[in-house]
Structure 1
Amino acid sequence: MIFADNTRYFWIIGAIVFVISSIVLYYLNDVLRRAEYNASGLASATIFLICLTAISGGFWLIFHHPFRKIIIDRNAETVEVKQRSFVKMSQSEYELKDIFMFDVGKMINESGDDMFRVELVLKNGQRIPLASKWTNSREFCRNTANEAEDFIRK
């Protein structure tokens, strides 16, 4: 059984924001530097900061949304958690006998709303998140956790 926390849309949006803001920065900077256009230094600085902020936002989207893939293998009796981000890859493997349960983790965001994600709970109490982002659907997370639980307990 394979679960994938697919964040490629965040990566695509981040790349688009980065590219568009870089192009805008290049062309607007060129226009503002022409002799026939008398732009104040404040206008140039403002456009530069806006584009730089958009470029930073594009980088942030890419770097802070890693892709996670969870492979549950009953034959090998393992759960493998692979995480790939823009700059690094990590891989963890846990034996089925070390797994206590699949659970729904909960946090309260800055707006006061409940947010959930599926977590792998080991017998030693360690909780490994199986998703890089939180969702507001407790039912979806509970169904996913139950599906994984049913799969490993068969």
Structure 2
Amino acid sequence: MESEKKKLIYKFIRYVAHINGANIMTFSTTAESLVSKCKTLLSCYAFHEAKPSIQQNTDINKPLYINAGSDSLESIGHITGAGIPPSNYKDAMNEWKEAFQENFPQEDEAKKQSSSTDIVEDKKFAEYEIDIAVEEKRRELEMFIREKKNRKALAEKSTRQNNNG
């Protein structure tokens, strides 16, 4: 990933964590020492144990670790690096959204909708049991529709016979 895009993502994570009072810890599952530090930190919160001493890091080239409340908006910086920071949460989130859309172009809405409906038919997501259940529900729906049409036709026929008779 390009360092500018990574920097943007990390800034956003730091921003959201800071305004929500959250810790941040990124790590790789291949780095055993980081995994054990993460487990220790999680057990600290889950079982009310003493907080481990983990050195803070804000360098994007290393695993990120920041304690809740120890970061600041000044150290995170503004999205663009210049300009007046937004005055409220809504404006800030809109700026972040625009920055993400600029750096990570989104799919067209029409494409997204067509792909979401095609996922049921997509062979790479095939699940035997689910496919059987979907097919069974389709048959039940078709049978229900046919029965409804037949009942409607029968009701119309009896109404005509009653009107003619």
User: Structure 1 length as normaliser, TM-score?
Assistant: 0.21
Which has more radius of gyration?
Answer: 2
Name whichever structure is richer in helix by fraction. 2
TM-score (normalised: structure 2): 0.20
Higher normalized strand content (fraction of residues):
1
